[in-house]
Amino acid sequence: MAHGSQSDTRKKLLELFAEANGDFISGQKISEILGCSRAAVWKHIEELRKEGFELEAVRRLGYRIVSTPDKVTANEIQLGLKTETFGHFVHFEEEVASTQKIALKLAYEGAKEGTLVISELQTAGRGRMGRKWFSPKGTGIWMSLILRPPIPPQKAPQLTLLTAVAICQAIQQVTGIVPDIKWPNDILLNGKKCVGILTELQADPDRVHSVIIGIGVNVNQTVEQFPEDIRTIATSLAIEKGERIKRARLVQEILLQLEKLYHQYLQHGFRPIKLLWEGYAVSIGKKITARTLNGSIKGTALGITDEGLLMLEDEDKHIHYIHSADIQL
């Protein structure tokens, strides 16, 4: 298991390379800043190479980073990460059953807010409403973030909506594509699902202990890589954009946008987030069917409440407030 608690030295080295922006840094300078020998610097460089970082070493000039691998290890995520705390601790594993399960365990053991669990492959990825989440190796982002918001438990669904907005902003920033949100938290590109969000809450009746935000993003899959039964309803960013995307870069941007919105939310409440959410929402003002556990309701989606519930007006002008459902447009 490649653990995320990498040494501070390694972290500093990656920060130095990020600051250098592709320019050379001399071995002397690196060893002075890191406070270690030139031989130790060389060892760190070798380890980064083993992980797939391409590093050039030139006598008298030093080292420079040529390219980073399309992996989602702690190193790739932390190289150039601009957040204050989110993702500063990364728990990476090549393969897991579900990142949610690990994050839940870490949260229970007291992991800090902003701790990220991420993996290249999930063998039992969990979706909403007891469904499975298809999480093949090396093509998507399968991650879970631990939050400890000082809010009452009934407000936790707002964090799901907040996350959807943050991911839309991040996708827009990295790819230029503007996604749609289908209530509560599906992110669609050209009507097909590209991102799923699963929020799990640990709380007492009056206090939240932790919220695990599970995020699954289809990034680099080709059409053929999706199982046939979901090909018509699922897509990836690469399919829509026509080129591959560096997953770690997108993870960084998701963490950054999430952290910004989360701070805004804790300071100013849900209103500003709700406005942003409505800007991305496709279902508002449209006739939809909401399939809840207690049956289906047809009507017009009016919007969301300040708590994040969907307001659906049926033919008799009766307004239903929906907590959880599948929406058909």
User: Is residue 216 within the footprint of ligand BTN (CB under 6 A)?
Assistant: yes
Question: Is there binding between residue 197 and ligand BTN (CB under 6 A)?
Answer: yes
Please select the residue that binds ligand BTN; options are 128, 148, 260, 320, rule is CB under 6 A: 128
Judged by CB under 6 A, the residue of 6, 68, 73, 99 near ligand BTN is 99
Specify the stretch interacting with ligand BTN by CB under 6 A; choose among 52-60, 69-77, 210-218, 248-256: 210-218
- Scanning 57-65, 142-150, 154-162, 321-329 for contacts with ligand BTN by CB under 6 A, the matching segment is 142-150
DSSP SS3 for 249: helix
Looking at the Cβ atoms of 63 and 89, the one nearer to ligand BTN is 89
Q: What does the block give as tokens for 89?
A: 């601790």
The one-character DSSP state at 111 is P
Rounded distance between C-alpha atoms, residue 147 and residue 259, angstroms: 10
- Choose between 71 and 126: whose C-beta lies nearer to ligand BTN: 126
Residue 126 vs 246, nearer CB to ligand BTN: 126
207-223: buried (b, 16+ CB within 10 Å) or exposed (e) per residue? ebebbbbbbbbbbbbee
- At residue 13, what are phi and psi to the nearest 5 degrees? -60, -45
Instruction: Give how far the C-alpha of residue 251 lies from the chain's centroid of Cα atoms, to the nearest Å.
Output: 6
Binders of ligand BTN among residues 150 to 189 (CB under 6 A) are 186
CB 62 within 8 A of CB 26: yes
Element (H, E) at 320: strand 319-322
Cβ 199 vs Cβ 213: under 8 Å: yes
Piece in contact with ligand BTN (CB under 6 A), picked from 41-49, 135-143, 257-265, 316-324: 135-143
Contact call for residue 196 and ligand BTN (CB under 6 A): yes
d(CA 261, CA 86): 12
Which one of 4-12, 131-139, 222-230, 314-322 is the stretch in contact with ligand BTN (CB under 6 A)? 131-139
Does the annotation list 244 as a binding residue? no
Cβ(119)–Cβ(92) under 8 Å? yes
Minimal distance in Å, beta carbon 60 to ligand BTN?
46
| Of residues 135, 84, 16, 96, the one with CA closest to residue 262 | 84
Residue with the CB atom nearest ligand BTN in the bound state: 196
Which residues of the chain form contacts with ligand BTN (CB under 6 A)? 98-100, 122, 125-128, 131, 133, 135, 142-144, 186, 196-198, 214-216
Which residues are annotated as part of the binding site?
A: 122, 126-128, 193
